[in-house]
Amino acid sequence: MQGIFASYARGWFVVAFSDEIAVGQSVRMRYFGEELVAFRGEDGVVRVLDGYCAHMGAHLGVGGKVVDNCIQCPFHSWRYAGNGDCVSIPYAKKIPVKARQRAWPTREINGVVLVHHDPEGKAPEYEIPAIADYGNPDWLPWTRNMYHVKTHPREIVDNLADKAHFPSVHRTEIDEFAFEVDGHTATQRAKGRAFLASGGVDVYSSTTTYHGPGYLLMRMDGAMKNYMIVAHTPVDQGSLDLRMGVMLKIAGDRARTEGIVGLYMANLKSGFEDDMKIWEAKLYREQPVLCDGDGPISQLRRWYKQFYVPTVDQPRADA
C-alpha cells in the first residue's frame, strides 16, 4: 500500500463484542498489523496491551493469566497493569524501568469493545456516543455476525456515499438521498424501498452515520424499527474484521420479534455477502470516472482521508 493509505487510520475501532471477553479472560488479537492482548479484570473493565512481553517476547494472550486487574505473562510470570506498567516480577528485587507494555486507549460502549489507534500515539479527539435504546427491554439485544474480509476499509466506507450500488447490489430503490459530513462524522439520510428475497417490499427511512473511520451506526424505520452497527477494523494491509449487529424494536410480543430477527439477519447477511464479493475482487480507483447520478463519492473520500497521517510525499487531503 502506498501514499496516504500506507498507515492505518486514526480513530476508534471495534476489537470485540463485549461477551467475547469474559471476566478473568485474556484474548489474543491481531489488528493494525500488531499483536495485542485484551483482558477483562476482576473489576469487569477491559484493557488492551501490546501482545509480546517486554521481557523475552512471550505472547500475553496465549496462556496469560488475569490476576486481579493485571495480566501475568505465561513465560516468567511478569505481571502488567492496565496502564502497561510491569507491577511485579516474582524473582526480581527491582523492576526495570523499561518493563512496560504499550497500553491502548480502550472503551466499552453499546455492547462492543473499542481501541483507539493513532500511528502518532496521540490521544482520542472524539468519543463513540451511547445508543439511547441499548439495553432497553423494548429492544432485542444485538443479533450479530463477523466476517474476515480481504479488502481495504476504504472500500467499505465508499458504500456510504455510493447511492448507485443499492439497486444493483442490494435490490433497493432509493427515493431520497442526502449526505453530509461534520468533523469526524459522515451521515447519509435515505428513504427507499427494499425488495426482499421473500417477495415483500419494505418501505424504509434511515439515518446512517460513521463516527470516525471504522464505526457505523444506522437507525432505520421500516417494517421493523432497528439499529444496525457495522464496524470494520484492519487486521493488516490486506484484510479486516467486519462485525455487524442488528437490534430490533420488539413489535407485538418478544417471541414474535425474536422469530423475525433471524430472517432479518439472513437478509442483511446476504446483502453484505453481495458487497463482499465485489470488494474482494475489485480495484480501488483513486480517480474513478463518475457520472451525474453517482453519489457524493469524492466528498466522502475527502472526509475519510482526514483519518490518515500524511506521509512525506503525500500532503494532507485538505491541504
Smallest distance, Fe ion to C-beta of residue 277, A: 11
Residue type, 262: G
Smallest distance, ligand FES to C-beta of residue 57, A: 6
Smallest distance, ligand FES to C-beta of residue 60, A: 7
Determine, following the binding rule CB under 5 A, whether residue 275 of this chain makes contact with Fe ion.
Answer: yes
Across the strands, what pairs with 106? 115
Cβ(87)–Cβ(70) below 8 Å: yes
Residue type, 268: L
Identify which of residues 17 and 75 has a Cβ nearer to ligand FES in the complex: 75
Q: Name the strand (E) or helix (H) holding 315.
A: none
Identify which of residues 76 and 269 has a Cβ nearer to ligand FES in the complex: 76
Query: Residue length, the chain?
Result: 319
Count of residues interacting with Fe ion (CB under 5 A):
2
Residue type, 193: R
Determine, following the binding rule CB under 5 A, whether residue 159 of this chain makes contact with Fe ion.
Answer: yes
Q: Which does 76 bind (CB under 5 to 8 A by kind): Fe ion, ligand FES, none?
A: ligand FES
d(CA 270, CA 197): 9
Stretch that binds Fe ion, among 2-10, 148-156, 275-283, 302-310 (CB under 5 A): 275-283
Identify which of residues 58 and 174 has a Cβ nearer to ligand FES in the complex: 58
Smallest distance, ligand FES to C-beta of residue 106, A: 21
- Name the 3-class secondary structure at 43: coil
Smallest distance, Fe ion to C-beta of residue 180, A: 19
Determine, following the binding rule CB under 6 A, whether residue 95 of this chain makes contact with ligand FES.
Answer: no
Identify which of residues 159 and 188 has a Cβ nearer to Fe ion in the complex: 159
Determine, following the binding rule CB under 5 A, whether residue 158 of this chain makes contact with Fe ion.
Answer: no
CB atoms within 10 A of CB 259: 11
State which of positions 40-59 bind ligand FES (CB under 6 A). 53, 55-58
Identify which of residues 88 and 239 has a Cβ nearer to ligand FES in the complex: 88
Order of strands, edge to edge, in the sheet holding 11-17? Answer: 11-17, 112-117, 106-109
Identify which of residues 76 and 219 has a Cβ nearer to ligand FES in the complex: 76
For 161-187, letters b (16+ CB in 10 Å) and e give bbbbbbeebbbbebeebebebeebebe
Stretch that binds Fe ion, among 41-49, 245-253, 268-276, 278-286 (CB under 5 A): 268-276
d(CA 273, CA 140): 24
Identify which of residues 110 and 159 has a Cβ nearer to Fe ion in the complex: 159
Cβ(73)–Cβ(92) below 8 Å: no
Smallest distance, ligand FES to C-beta of residue 174, A: 54
- Contacts for 254 with CB less than 8 Å, ≥ 6 apart: 140
Taking alpha carbons only, the member of 242, 247, 224, 223 closest to residue 232 is 242
State which of positions 59-78 bind ligand FES (CB under 6 A). 73, 75-76, 78
Return the residue matching grid coordinates 461534520. Answer: 182
Chain contacts with Fe ion (rule: CB under 5 A) = 159, 275
Chain contacts with ligand FES (rule: CB under 6 A) = 53, 55-58, 73, 75-76, 78
